[in-house]
Every structure is written in C-alpha cells, then in structure tokens.
Structure 1
C-alpha cells in the first residue's frame, strides 16, 4: 500500500507487489522499499548509486521532471556536458558531434563541484542583492502610498 508520498517500490512493482517506497534512487529514477534498498546498496552494479529519502524526492519531483536525463536522439543516459557548446551529450553524441571539443566534462564531475563553484556564489550573491532591492522598492512604494494618503487627507481638510 502506498504511503502519503504515493510512491511504490519499483522492483516490487515489477514482481506484482505493492510495497511503499522509503527511498529513491536518483540514478535508476525508481522508488525502493527498505528491503530493496538494502539489496541496492550491496549489488555490485548499484552500490555506488545515490539514494535519497522518498519524501525528499517528492518535494523536488516537479523540478526533476523538467531535467532531461536521456538523449533524445540515442535514448542513452546523458553523461557529458560540452562547455564549448553548452549542451549535454550521451556517449554516442560525443564521437558524432563533439570530436573536436576540448572542454567536454563528465556531468558527475561538474555536479560534484557545483555547490562550491564561484558561479554559484555569484548567483547566490546576485539573488540576495535582488532581494534587498525588492525590499527597498517595496518600502519606498509603501512610503509613497502613505505620503499620498496624507496629502489627500490634508487636501480634503483644507476644502
């Protein structure tokens, strides 16, 4: 039976069982119950894959559905990012379209450093500055509204 998250264990579903998922494998894009999670952790093919609590996955599901994981052309997992063309690529795209590219990086490597990159800090600082500007504009606008109301009261008092 599904919990409030509504996510079922993918391997159990394939066996025609309905077991609630407690974890989500971001590589398999599948839910895992506690037993299948244990198996997943010890299986040679999947032990290095990242899993997150299913409740956390549910929170980001709408965003993650917007992110393409597979190449439209080759139905292969997107594993590279070309810094020359600013596009993702699968293992078949690389020899076809990116043979001459000098700045082709594995997505996993780029993602590992993303949280500490200077670009991320610049974006965060920019967002904070924008937030401060919006707050200042909101306060200024409210002061203008208050001033106009006061002027309006004074105008009608004088007439």
Structure 2
C-alpha cells in the first residue's frame, strides 16, 4: 500500500505510474502535478483540503484509514479498528476479512476513541497551519511583486538618467571634435 500511496491514483487507474505530490483529503486520492491542476478546476472540488505527500505521510494511520461508512459494505458503519491492518472496519469486514486478526477493538472503547480524537485534532491543526502558510506565502508573493515592480521602476529611471548623461557627453565630445577640426582647418 505504501508504494501505491506514492503513485497518482488517477494515473494508476489509466495504467500510468506517476509520482503523487499532493493528497486530497476529501477524495482520499494521491495526485500528481497534472491531475492536481485538473482537480482544482472543478467547482465542486474547490473547497477540498489538499496536503503535500510529506504532510499526509505524517498523519497517523488510524486517522488516514478512518471513514464512517465501510467502502466494501456501504450500508455498514465502521465500528471496529483492526490494529493488525491499521484501519477501521465494519462488522461484515470483521466476520469476513479480519476474523483471523488478533488485535481488533470496538471503536467505542475509550482508548481507541481518544487516540482517534487526538489524531483528528492533530490533523485539523496541521491543516490550519498549512492553510496559514499558504496565506502567508500569498501575501509574501504579493509583496515580492510590489518590491520587484518598485525596483524595476527605479532601475528604469536610473537607465534613463544614464542615457541622458551619455547623450550630453556625446554631444560635448562631438562639439570638442568639431572645434578642433575647425581650428585645424582654420590654420
């Protein structure tokens, strides 16, 4: 699973292997640069929370794999947590795929609930920090553009001043040459 997690899931479904650089929390998909650009163009996905793969990898498995309803049994709620597979499961999964697993807890157990709550809180804090960093980067980017525009204007004025000085020096040199030629011709 770790290998697939580093691959863009959309490209992977098309038979391509591309490295994922972002992860959409809402879609639960790793995305490459190209798929990420397309993902952001859909109005329905504008509000989706996107993390870098580095940030996503820091999220505990118990949070990454938690979803209220089972993917395999869509009408069943995930009420159990399998420590062997680090994922939440429903009762049907417990009976079928996880009957041999030794460490299964009911999510209502206080320990599991507290771990999940603290993991979810940590995730929400990381998302808030990431959003703050994006806003700071945007503000910094705008300020950098203003600074560059100001420097460009200043440099442009300096260049105009230098051109003006060069022209006046050129005119003076020409005048001196003409005066010398006039003196030589006059003799």
TM tier relative to shorter chain: 0.3 to 0.5
In terms of fraction of residues, the more helix-rich structure is: 2
Question: When the two structures are superposed, what TM-score results if normalisation uses the length of structure 1?
Answer: 0.42
TM-score by length of 2: 0.37
